[in-house]
Amino acid sequence: MTIHMVKLCVGADDIDDLADWQARLMKKLPAPVHHTRMAPKRADEMLKGGSIYWVIKRAIRVRQRIIDIRTVKDEDGKDMCELVFDPELVRTYAQPKRPFQGWRYLKPEEAPRDLNSGEVAVDLPADLDAALKNAGVW
C-alpha cells in the first residue's frame, strides 16, 4: 500500500518560492532533498509511489514524488533522514490544513487531487476555495 507525507513549507509564500529554493539546491545536488530528524517508519510504503504534499499558506497546494529515503549524518555526526524528491512540482487543488509541527502521514484517499494540465491554479485562500467547492460554484 502507498502512503504519502504532508509537511509545512515554512518560509514559502507560494509555489514559486518552493521552486526557487529547490532550483538553488539543485545547483549543488542532482535532486531536491529535505532533512528531518525522524525517519518515517512507513518508508517502504512511501517509496511505492508516495509523495510529499507541501502546505503553503495554510493549504496543501503542491506535491512531489518521493524517490528515495536515506540516512545521512548532520554536521555533528548524528543520523538524520534525507528525503529525496522528483524535481517536478505537481500542483493540486488547495486543501485547507492547520499548522502542525514536523510531518504527518497522508492516506491516498485524503490527498487532494492533482490539477489537470488545462486547469489553472487560482491562488485563493484555502477556506474560500473550500467554501466555493462545497457550494458547487467551483
Q: What long-range pairs does 113-122 form, CB within 8 A, spacing at least 24? A: 114/63, 114/90, 115/90, 115/91, 121/15, 121/61, 121/91, 121/94
**Chain segment 10-62, per-residue pLDDT in tens:** 989 999 999 999 999 999 999 999 999 999 999 999 999 999 999 999 999 99
Q: What percent of the chain has pLDDT over 90?
A: 77
Domain ranges for the chain:
4-135
Q: Are 57 and 77 within 8 A, CB to CB?
A: no
**Chain segment 54-87, per-residue pLDDT in tens:** 999 999 999 999 999 999 998 899 999 999 999 9
Question: If pLDDT is split at 50, 70 and 90, which confidence band does 131 have?
Answer: confident
> How does the average pLDDT of the chain come out, rounded?
89
